Structure 1
């Protein structure tokens, strides 16, 4: 079970990176008139995948092929789309002469850490409440309080 949880965490990190990357590419490569259509298409594709993914996986697990075929299909789709990623997407860098060190120094590290802590403590409260600790325990009560304090600090 722990390996499954770690795997899902890694998938979630990858998915969030993919989504942020798609939105960033759309913002950099489309005009204001084209952008709503592309963002809507991305959302529709994401939604269809979330609805059809479990259905297809469940169908595979009940058939003579195993559920692992869903991953093989993903590899085929990825291989078919790879030329688009490597050949058609332009290398757009609006700050060509800005060094990497200067870009890293511009990141709001304090805000990033406070944001991460606030969201992480609220997700931990929801995840651990009633399973690992009782809802009325000090641990579960402290996590949303911690989240609230971090959100307030983030706004200062």
Structure 2
């Protein structure tokens, strides 16, 4: 088995594999906290979004997206703290990696690709992460992301989970 992980733009034909993988990750890790009743819908991007997949042995093994949204908690927090800046903001999200390939650098490579694309566009990058996802927070901090505050992620019928918002230092 090769340890090599390839990153490429997500294609339409990747969505079924991404959806199956997302269900697997949710069952193991509870990510995303919203559940995965309709995983394909959860992975949809609007016209401003981009997504990449990690491939291991030719199969989809991970995913990340980058979207220009104003509704994410991290975007709102960054804008409130930086109202004097006019820089466009994009949110990194939908990061997940197959349990079978963890430890092979897929999450790191996916994050680096999203960060590289965001920098090329001149975007300020932000993300949010739930407190329970400590490994993800360690990855983000290792890559230079800085916690800009705490959030409460609300979902479902009045459910809440604490999280943190991060911004990429430029």
Normalising TM by the smaller chain, what interval?
under 0.3
Higher fraction of helix: 1
Please report the TM-score for the alignment, with normalisation by the length of structure 2.
Answer: 0.22
Higher normalized contact order (CA 8 Å, seq sep 6+, divided by chain length): 2
Please report the TM-score for the alignment, with normalisation by the length of structure 1.
Answer: 0.23
Bigger Rg, structure 1 or 2: 1
